[in-house]
């Protein structure tokens, strides 16, 4: 019997369908909470028993999701969590939100997606909808997932529904969240798209259907490649400005007054997070298989990947003006999360800067209230560190303070007045300071001699 999808769409609209989310991380938990909040009974499945236990106890481990929301939904019976994939048997829809990292060789690591799909395939039943949300190369849903699910004898678009919908979570964004960020959806067949559209429509204000899973997959890669390339461009401009004695920050801030045709991107110590440093390489890997060389992606990758090394060079130059070497200097890394106001250190360039400084003989410590501890396995320094409190005595003690993440909670005026020497990769220091400041992409300032000098 062919399944038209109408009955599932009706059940979704009437909030009688049961939804599942596989992978309860930065993407999966907010989505599961949004489905549950919309009145759909939702079960989260994760292999990490600690996360499941936290949700069962009504606690959130994702900063953008308040524990009070999780607690209320769990006690109302609308949100549950389990490590048991057999619960998928009773679900009507499943969203896959597992990691898609890169291997050391910069090839896609699809092992999490494959393992989740194999578990789901065991419990696939007629009439079910499965949506992949993990960022991946164009073709994944049709080439990798569809055959796995059809191994059960059921046919996509006929017996069950399969779609791809890219995730656009932006941690710590106060304006855009899961509900008000438009969601792109592309199915294996038009019926698949329709059913997936119905699912997202209960939890997301605007759903944007596209013609295929490949288009939906490519949309995400365009969005993130656009960022990676533009950040690469502005990072290169920062290096150029450093050479030419021009302040790149002033340039970008003036350029962004143009009300059309320009969008500001800012330089920094390098790319971080689970998306921008990784996703473009999913695309270049896939393009290479078709004999196409993605030159912009590779070039931006080179420029961005070289930034931590450049920051270290800048620290060396700054210390040199004080007749000091990196070797033996004490250096405080200020902020180590990959961007401001979040707790995520995945792929954070700050960790590379710290490692490179440590490798050159510096004594490296860090202060980041969002990251109370850094375990040996999280960076290449090979030992555990804990975040230090910022106080005058401490700031005065370090030979150099390197600003790597401009969290809003940092008192940069105090840093400016108490530190001996500052390297600022984020344009965080805005006012005149007692200490010399070496800004990325700008002439260095030294209030003691009241001069502007080239770094």
Which spans of this chain sit near ligand NAD (rule: CB under 6 A)?
Answer: 22-28, 45-48, 51, 97-100, 112, 115-116, 134-135, 167, 169, 171, 274-275
Min dist. Cβ of residue 441 to ligand NAD (A): 26
Min dist. Cβ of residue 94 to ligand NAD (A): 11
Residue 237: count other Cβ atoms within 10 Å of its Cβ. 18
Q: Which is nearer to ligand NAD, 74 or 275 (CB)?
A: 275
Q: Which is nearer to ligand NAD, 48 or 90 (CB)?
A: 48
Min dist. Cβ of residue 200 to ligand NAD (A): 15
Q: Which is nearer to ligand NAD, 37 or 274 (CB)?
A: 274
Nearest to 78 by CA among 116, 132, 37, 106: 37
State whether residue 258 is helix, strand or coil: coil
Q: Which residues contact 208 (CB under 8 A, 6 or more apart)?
A: 182, 183, 184, 185
- Select the residue whose beta carbon is closest to ligand NAD and give its number: 25
Q: Which is nearer to ligand NAD, 164 or 310 (CB)?
A: 164
| Start-to-end CA span in the chain (Å) | 73
Of 97, 275, 400, 409, which one is the catalytic site residue? 275
Min dist. Cβ of residue 172 to ligand NAD (A): 10
Nearest to 215 by CA among 141, 320, 153: 141
Nearest to 238 by CA among 265, 256, 263, 262: 265
Min dist. Cβ of residue 317 to ligand NAD (A): 34
Both tokens assigned to 170? 């932006």
Rounded alpha-carbon distances, angstroms, from residue 214 to 5, 165, 200, 283, 427: 21, 10, 19, 12, 39
The CA-based angle 424-430-431, given to 5 degrees, is 120
Tell me the three-class secondary structure of 203-234, residue by residue: CCCCEEEECCHHHHHHHHHHHHHHHHHHHHHH
Q: Which residue has the tokens 């599942």?
A: 20
Paired with 81 in beta bridges are 44
Q: Which residues contact 80 (CB under 8 A, 6 or more apart)?
A: 42, 43, 44, 55, 56, 74
Both tokens assigned to 21? 């989310």
Give the whole-angstrom CA distance, residue 383 versus residue 361.
15
Q: Which is nearer to ligand NAD, 183 or 274 (CB)?
A: 274
Cβ atoms of 410 and 388 closer than 8 Å = no
Min dist. Cβ of residue 87 to ligand NAD (A): 12
Q: Which is nearer to ligand NAD, 54 or 368 (CB)?
A: 54
> Does the annotation mark 275 as catalytic?
yes
Q: Which is nearer to ligand NAD, 97 or 385 (CB)?
A: 97
* φ, ψ of residue 413 in degrees (nearest 5): -65, -40
Min dist. Cβ of residue 311 to ligand NAD (A): 24
Q: Catalytic residue positions?
A: 275
């Amino acid at each position: 019997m062919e399944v038209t999808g109408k009955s599932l769409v009706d059940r979704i609209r009437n909030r009688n369908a049961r939804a599942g989310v596989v992978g309860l991380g930065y993407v999966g938990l907010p989505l599961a909470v949004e489905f549950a909040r919309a009145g759909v009974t939702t079960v989260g499945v994760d292999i990490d028993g600690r996360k499941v236990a936290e949700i069962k106890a009504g606690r959130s481990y994702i900063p953008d999701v308040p524990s009070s929301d999780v607690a209320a939904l769990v006690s109302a019976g609308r949100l549950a969590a389990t490590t048991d994939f057999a619960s998928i048997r009773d679900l009507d829809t499943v969203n896959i939100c597992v990691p898609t990292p890169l291997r050391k060789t910069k090839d896609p690591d699809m092992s999490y997606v494959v393992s989740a799909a194999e578990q789901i395939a065991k419990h696939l039943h007629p009439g079910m909808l499965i949506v992949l949300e993990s960022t991946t190369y164009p073709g994944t849903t049709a080439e990798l997932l569809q055959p796995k699910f059809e191994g059960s004898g059921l046919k996509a678009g006929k017996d069950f529904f399969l779609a791809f919908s890219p995730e656009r979570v932006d941690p710590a964004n106060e304006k855009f969240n899961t509900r008000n960020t438009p969601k792109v959806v592309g199915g294996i067949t038009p019926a698949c798209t329709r059913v997936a559209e119905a699912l997202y429509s209960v939890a997301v204000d605007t759903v944007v259907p596209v013609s295929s899973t490949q288009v939906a997959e490519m949309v995400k890669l365009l969005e993130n490649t656009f960022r990676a390339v533009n950040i690469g461009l502005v990072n290169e401009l920062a290096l150029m400005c450093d050479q030419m004695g021009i302040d790149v920050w002033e340039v970008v801030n003036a350029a962004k007054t143009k009300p059309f045709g320009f969008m500001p991107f800012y330089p920094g110590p390098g790319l971080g997070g689970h998306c921008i440093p990784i996703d473009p390489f999913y695309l270049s890997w896939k393009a290479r298989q078709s004999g196409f060389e993605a030159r912009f992606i590779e070039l931006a990758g080179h420029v961005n990947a070289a930034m931590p090394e450049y920051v270290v060079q800048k620290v060396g130059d700054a210390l040199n003006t004080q007749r000091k070497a990196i070797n033996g200097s004490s250096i405080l890394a200020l902020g180590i999360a990959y961007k401001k106001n979040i707790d995520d250190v995945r792929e954070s360039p700050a960790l590379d800067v710290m490692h490179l400084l440590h490798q050159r003989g510096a004594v490296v410590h860090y202060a980041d209230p969002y990251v109370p501890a850094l375990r040996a396995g999280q960076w290449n320094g090979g030992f555990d560190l804990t975040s230090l409190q910022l106080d005058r005595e401490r700031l005065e003690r370090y030979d150099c303070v390197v600003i790597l993440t401009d969290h809003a909670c940092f008192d940069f005026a105090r840093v400016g007045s108490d530190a001996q020497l500052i390297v600022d990769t984020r344009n965080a220091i805005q006012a005149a300071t007692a200490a010399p400041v070496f800004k990325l992409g700008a002439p260095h300032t030294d209030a003691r001699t009241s001069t502007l000098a080239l770094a």
